[in-house]
Amino acid sequence: MNILEAVFTGITQGAMIALVALGYTMVYGVLKLINFAHSEVFMMAAYFGLVFLSLLIGDVSAVNGIVSPEAASSTFAGVFGALRGHPLAAAAAATVLAMLAASALGIGVERVAYKPLRGRGKGALVRVTPLVTALGMSVLLQNLAQLLFTARFRPYPQVLSGEVQVPGLGAITSSRALILGASIIVMIGLELIVKRTWFGKAMRALSANEEAARLMGVRTSRVISMTFALGSSLAALGAVLFCLDQSQVYPTMGVVIGTRAFVAAVLGGIGSITGAMLGGLLIGIIGELVKLTDYSGGVDVLVFLVLILVLLVRPAGLLGSTRTEKV
Amino acid sequence: MARGQAGKSGGLRWSRLAVGAGVLGVALLCDLYLADFVHDSSIRQLFMLAACNVLVASSLNVINGMAGQFSIGHAGFVGLGGYTSAVIASNLHEMLGGGEPTFARSFIVVPVCLLASATLAGIFGFLVGLPSLRLRGDYLAIVTLGFAEIFRLVIATAQAGEDGSPIARALSRLGGQNGYMGIDNQGIPLYAGPFWVFGLAFVLGVVAWRIKFSGWGRALRALREDEIAAAAVGVDPTRYKVTSFVIAAVGAGVAGGLMAIMRDGTPIVNPDNYNFQASFDAITMVILGGSGSVTGAAIGGVFITFSIKAIEQVQATSAVQALRREFESLDLNALRMIVYALVLVLLMVVRPEGLLGERELFQKRRGGRGGSGPDAPRAGAKAEAA
């Protein structure tokens, strides 16, 4: 495996990590809160994708214990049976359904754990309390997944096979090509949403000054919910793409990928959307390059070391802005 | 608190000395006779674990509660202390000739182990605290998390093998993912009996109390409420923040060191004991009791230790076993953490300041002056409104 190939693999990995990192960074942008539960939304989304895909292609062997074969062939067949025999259409539909379910989950997390705290508390507690509930939600979701789906590694049905020829690099698997293509399209789309739409404008206004935004008629509560929904659906897309590549689903996957995505968001400058993309790509490439050396187990050590070093030089991340505090 | 009163009345000072001596005496008696009263070693382990967790919570309380920083990597310092103490205890034990760990010998082994643990953890606390000059709030939290993860991963991924650099070889001797089990896997000699565990929990608890109600603690609280205002009246933010990090790390190092060589404990230290979950537990203890409150942290430490055990007991009851048979596809082992996280989130929503807030149990009311707990937040709210 040469360096060029590793860099390319790193870019695909990084694009996927960046999708998850965007969720962290958008929520931080509007709420100034590190949403630790985001990595678990990613994990839950992978399970949603797995369940929906299994139902849609009519093969429930991967989800035994979650959905019984009888229910799949009788109760759900009427709803999900239409796409049987078209695996690619089924995969696309499952992805959309997973994104919707993850959005609902994201909004739910916000309603339960963050909304009741907003505008309450005093002094130093204002910042710390939501962080604790965020950690609590993360632990809760992770263990809920273990309770419902058990700690088993579940195989993800592979609907995409074959290779694509890329000029200059040779053959790459079509799932990788899809990951890269989908990530690029989604990031361009997100950039357009944030820069060109009313919602994006409201989000940026909220990020700059919540009180002023509310006075200008922005319904802050709704914008926050929409931000969570958008971030969670991006995480769901990332989860489905991750499963295409790694083809395994397990309750602690959120910790593994979520941590890297989180580091990517901070590295790029949390709150900055371009920063999250840049950070994701960096983390992906670093991860793949380390695998070329003897220390392949030390990826996460290096990732955190890079993070700490970057933070020491640029305290707000690569593209983050530091505002001087006015007295 | 009450510095003036203690100075004025000699009687009070003597009564304090008597209380201190009394507690140490009880700890000594525990050390000699606890095994005769409490036959179940798992219960003894639970009590001592609770005392260790009180130390973990009170040390984290210095950063998270008093200084208002947010450290989410406390397990890193605890683990550093644990490994240091385990390695030194094993080697000292070997030097002293092996055999059963005796109480007399523990007066050599335990202080050496804990001093080393505290020193090493303190050095790393200094290194982690240094970025607090530049980083604020969330970013600092991330650095602490990064430190804890690096520590755990470095130990867990150290591969056995006699080639490579001396550092890699030394690390691989720590057992990697399987944990460290003393020299030749004989198990770590468990020297620290109840005398050390309960005694140190008491002594360091008093130290934490004195820190909170000293001028130093007041400066820390001022810094927490408004850094700029505090700096304007001569409180050097850098110095105080870094020192509070070092103090917290030293406390965590002692706690981890004690846990590793605790009598009736497990003779093994494992990197998985010091994962993010452990840091989260420590945060829960502090928040539950009320961040900033010394007695609150102690209550939190004891409560969490016992509630984890209680939930484990509940899981073994027939009702839960029947439930397990009923829903075979469910993994009920995860139930403990679900209950735990749910309670935490609910508590935060209902009562964000924890059980005690910043107040203390046994706090004497002082009229007029005295800027202890309850006044500080109000001042902070005012500063924010301005």
CA distance A253 to chain B (A): 15
Share of chain A above pLDDT 70, in %: 91
Residue in chain A nearest B147 by alpha carbon = A304
- Rounded CA separation B359/B371 (Å): 12
Share of chain A above pLDDT 90, in %: 24
Judging contacts by C-beta atoms under 8 Å, the chain B residues touching residue A322 are none
pLDDT at B164 (0 to 100): 63
Contact of B352 with A125, CB cutoff 8 Å: yes
- Across B100-104, average pLDDT: 81
Concatenated DSSP letters for A180-212?
HHHHHHHHHHHHHHHHHSHHHHHHHHHHH-HHH
Chain A positions in Cβ-Cβ contact with residue B137 (cut-off 8 Å): 127
Closest CA to B375 of B363, B237, B350: B363
Domain ranges of chain B: 39-359+369-385
Mean pLDDT of the A118-143 span: 78
Residues of A with Cβ-Cβ distance to B344 under 8 angstroms: 132-133, 136, 139
Condensed to tens digits (0 to 9), the pLDDT of residues A294-319 reads: 776 678 888 888 888 888 888 788 88
pLDDT value of position A236? 94
Q: Give pLDDT, residue B377.
A: 42
**How many C-alpha atoms does A6 have within 13 Å on its Cβ side?**
14
Distance of residue B134 Cα from the nearest chain A Cα, in angstroms: 6
For A24-52, what is the mean pLDDT?
89
CB contact under 8 A, A297 and B159: yes
**Confidence check: pLDDT of B379 > 50:** no
Q: Give the residue-averaged pLDDT of A179-205.
A: 90
Mutate to test the interface with A, among B142, B153, B233 (most CBs of A within 10 A): B142
Q: Are B377 and B316 in contact (CB under 8 A)?
A: no
C-alpha angle B197-B202-B206 in degrees, rounded to nearest 5: 145
Q: H-type helices in B98-236, by residue range?
A: 103-129, 137-157, 166-172, 194-213, 215-225, 227-232
Query: Which of A12-16, A230-234, B231-235, B289-293 has the highest average model confidence (pLDDT)?
Result: A230-234
* Per-residue pLDDT at B380 exceeds 60: no
Identify the pLDDT of residue B329. 65
What does the pLDDT average to over B365-386? Answer: 43
The reported pLDDT for the residue numbered B6 is 44
In Å, how far is B302's CA from the nearest CA of chain A? 19
Which residues from A are below 8 Å from B68, CB to CB? 124, 128
Half-sphere exposure of B142 (CA within 13 A, CB side): 33
Query: How confident is the model at residue B113, as a pLDDT?
Result: 93
Nearest to B299 by CA among B19, B116, B34, B51: B51
pLDDT at residue B160, rounded to an integer? 55
Q: Is the pLDDT of residue A155 over 80?
A: yes
Rounded to a whole number of angstroms, the distance from the CA of A238 to the nearest CA of chain B is 23
pLDDT at B328: 67
- Residue in B137, B225, B342 closest to A140 by CB: B342
Contact yes or no for B331 and A151 at CB 8 A:
yes
∠ Cα A234 A240 A245 (to 5°): 125
DSSP B180: B
Contacts of B157 in chain A (CB under 8 A): 297-298, 301
Mean pLDDT of chain B: 81
pTM, entire model: 0.83
How far apart are the CA of B257 and the nearest CA of chain A, in angstroms? 24
Cβ contact (<8 Å) for B159 and A316? no
- How many other C-beta atoms lie within 10 A of the C-beta of residue B380? 22
Quick one: B22 exposed, middle or buried, by C-beta within 10 A (0-12, 13-18, 19+)? exposed
Backbone angles phi, psi at A37, to 5 degrees: -75, -10
Cβ–Cβ below 8 Å for A65 and B337? no
Using CB atoms, pick whichever of B137, B154, B376 lies closest to residue A127: B137
Residue B315: per-residue pLDDT: 74
Query: Is A326 a residue whose pLDDT tops 60?
Result: no
**Mean pLDDT, residues A268-288 taken together:** 88
Instruction: List all residues 6 or more positions away from B323 whose beta carbon is below 8 Å from its beta carbon.
Output: B332
- Chain B residues whose CB is inside 8 A of the A315 CB are 134-136, 139
pLDDT score, position B376:
41
pLDDT band per the 50, 70, 90 thresholds, residue B44: confident
For the residues A107-112, what does the mean pLDDT come to? 92
Q: How far is B246 from chain A (nearest CA, A)?
A: 19
pLDDT score at B159: 67
Mean of pLDDT values over A269-296: 85
Of B136, B337, B376, the CB nearest to A143: B337
Please give the Cα distance from B282 to B301 (Å, whole number): 8
Q: What single DSSP character describes residue A293?
A: S
- CA–CA min distance A122, chain B (Å): 6
Please list every residue in chain A whose beta carbon sits closer than 8 Å to the beta carbon of residue B384: 123
pLDDT greater at residue A225 or residue B134: A225
Does the distance separating the beta carbons of A113 and B330 come in below 8 Å? no
* Cβ–Cβ below 8 Å for A311 and B131: yes
A147 contacts B331? CB cut-off 8 A = yes
pLDDT band at B258 (very low <50, low <70, confident <90, very high): very high
In this predicted model, which residue has the larger pLDDT, A274 or B325? A274
Q: Which helix (H) or strand (E) holds B323?
A: helix B318-326
Which of A24, A128, A149 is most worth mutating to test chain B (most B CB atoms within 10 A of its CB)?
Answer: A128
Looking at every residue in chain A, the average pLDDT score rounds to: 84
Yes or no, beta carbons of B153 and A301 under 8 Å apart: yes
Residue B224 burial (CB < 10 Å; 0-12/13-18/19+)? buried
Q: How many CB pairs under 8 A join A and B?
A: 151
Q: How confident is the model at residue B3 (pLDDT cuts 50, 70, 90)?
A: very low
Band of pLDDT at residue A175, cut at 50, 70 and 90: confident
Say what the pLDDT of residue A1 is: 56
pLDDT band at A139 (very low <50, low <70, confident <90, very high): confident
Residue B5's pLDDT band (boundaries 50, 70, 90)? very low
Nearest-Å Rg of the Cα atoms of chain A is 20
With residue B377 as reference, give the H or E element that holds it.
Answer: helix B375-385
Task: Give the model's confidence band at B115: pLDDT under 50 very low, under 70 low, under 90 confident, else very high.
Answer: very high
pLDDT (tens digit, 9 = 90+) per residue, B280-338? 889 888 888 888 889 999 999 999 899 888 877 777 777 777 777 777 666 667 777 78
